[in-house]
Chains A and B, each alone.
Chain A
């Protein structure tokens, strides 16, 4: 399987109270096509920082990252944003949906960011929402949806542009068990031989959906094993 994202010797430190605090300490990692990877570890272990770096949202203090063959260190901010827009999807702990927009518009507006004509964006958004089981909630605003439904809209928003790589952060943390299972099953369907997903989580119950489980502690990878999907 080909690597869609690679990080080598990735380090990231912050200045805190005059001292330098290193939260990611020399991580080597590959996210391969066809894999759903769970990134686990205790709070403060550097998971979120690492995934932000791999997704091109943060620059590492040292080391190199390649996203779909593009070395991110050499890419300017604007080109990096364009790369994310074209090939990367995100799902977060909070749905981050615009409260004034319907489910359909929340998804369609992201497609419009890619320069897609409005009519085409609406078609694709509708398809994506049908895929996540919300075909009958297209005209609902977030306040009219349950937490699980809102998260499914957020997944539809991430998947509608057909990204190659999906990054998720605690995507089930705010959901009940049933909704969490539904969300993970949806994310599982995203992973094909051409795509990859990495999900940051504390929840060991999600291992059953993962092809691979990577564990971090104190800014370093301490385990990398097969999942049980």
Chain B
């Protein structure tokens, strides 16, 4: 039945091409929307992922990392009390602004961490983390140079950040916030100067533990201080993702686009399979008369659906991967993990199965005696 199904499909080339285009379109949209969704989730919480740590400590009442109140320097002693704690890294994460040479004002996000390895949270395209050790040295992302008015030779060039002169010591790669505001990396002390933080203040403490299993105990101990909120790193990441996903409606928008693609693809595949069955009804009924079981004849639809899904879906997913590469160059984050690809394939299989249902029903209802009429 495989040979009959596939050859019959290939025999009608215009119909085949239309169906493949439909599946490829559905595959492309599903994979792109899934990739964008994963990319969105990642960028909402990329600071948490990049900074690592086992426990994060913020002010009480903080819901997401993007809206943190300053913690005083004295909170560090509370954070370090537990014997399982190895260190507490300071993090300053705050909004600021840059006055470009052209005179425009660009909002930015300042990320202040302890200098040097391993605390520079992003990889560098140019320069070394130690290049940020000198006062008022910053790293800017390669995607944001133009936006910040830096056109060539960024290393050594200067920026006016909140009216304070800073010099570019390094260039980071693919550091994107979902708000699309440029990240500017600096030492904690310099970050305070470029924002409205006072001496010693931080946005959060990133705590490294000797054994991650003590995280719950450390969280409990820190939260005895009513001013503090302690999170396991995964918990803060998930909460941040959920907050932005729900409040921005991004999940619904991406899901709706993917659904549209699936509907279009499903209709095209369904129509193709159904008309193939209708056109080949005398031949299929002949097979039923000869003695093929209904489900065996239904494989005609199954093999055609599988062929369309595999060939069209592969084309769509490859196109999505290509689009992902192009999008990354433009600063858009699409993540095509094996899980995303697998999900897209499963969704396409589901779509094809759903689209096959009517055709399979028609085959199963076919009367073998029909060939005698």
Contacts and interface: CB of A to CB of B under 8 A. Distances in A.
A100 B292 contact: no
Contact of A58 (B1, B7, B369): B369
B8 A100 contact: yes
Contact of A84 (B283, B289, B367): B289
Interface in A62-90: 78, 81-86, 88-90
A101 interface: yes
Contact of B368 (A51, A57, A200): A57
Contact of A97 (B11, B283, B372): B283
B207 to A, nearest CB: 67
A84 B288 CA distance: 10
A82 B288 CA distance: 10
A45 interface: no
B283 A90 contact: no
Nearest to A110: B290
Contacts of B328: none
B369 A86 contact: no
A14 B285 CA distance: 21
Given A96-B283, A100-B11, A90 B4 contact: no
A48 B367 CA distance: 14
Nearest to A85: B291
B147 interface: no
A113 B369 contact: no
Contacts of A88: 290-291
B292 A81 contact: yes
Interface residues of B, number: 26
A200 B280 CA distance: 24
B286 interface: yes
A89 to B, nearest CB: 8
Nearest to A108: B3
B289 A90 contact: yes
Interface in B129-180: none
B371 A96 contact: yes
B293 A57 contact: no
- The secondary structure that dominates the B interface is helix
B282 A94 contact: yes
Contact of A90 (B280, B367, B371): B371
A90 B291 CA distance: 10
A57 B372 contact: yes
Contacts of A89: 290
Contacts of B289: 55, 57, 84, 90
Contacts of B292: 81, 85, 113
Contact of A78 (B283, B293, B372): B293
B4 A52 contact: no
Interface string A29-61: 000000000000000000010011001011000
Contacts of B373: 48
Contacts of B290: 84-85, 88-90, 110, 113
Contacts of A82: 291
Contacts of B283: 96-98
A48 B311 CA distance: 43
B107 to A, nearest CB: 62
B287 interface: yes
Contact of B7 (A78, A94, A101): A101
A92 interface: yes
A109 interface: yes
B371 to A, nearest CB: 5
Residue among A84, A88, A98 having the largest count of chain B Cβ atoms under 10 Å: A98
A52 B369 contact: yes
Contacts of A55: 289
B286 A92 contact: yes
B113 to A, nearest CB: 65
Nearest to B368: A57
B8 A113 contact: no
Contacts of A92: 286, 371-372
Contacts of A48: 372-373
A85 B289 CA distance: 8
A214 B24 CA distance: 58
B10 interface: yes
A90 B7 contact: no
Nearest to B10: A100
B87 interface: no
Contacts of B280: 98
B296 interface: yes
B2 to A, nearest CB: 10
A48 B285 CA distance: 16
A200 B368 CA distance: 17
Given A96-B371, A97-B283, A109-B1, 10 more contacts: A48-B372, A48-B373, A90-B371, A92-B372, A98-B283, A100-B4, A101-B3, A105-B7, A109-B4, A113-B292
18 contacts: A52-B372, A78-B293, A84-B289, A85-B290, A90-B286, A90-B371, A94-B282, A96-B285, A99-B11, A100-B8, A101-B7, A109-B3, A110-B287, A113-B290, A113-B292, A113-B296, A169-B371, A169-B372
Q: List 8 A-B pairs, minimum CB-CB distance, nearest first.
A: A85-B291, A100-B11, A84-B291, A57-B369, A100-B7, A96-B286, A52-B369, A96-B282
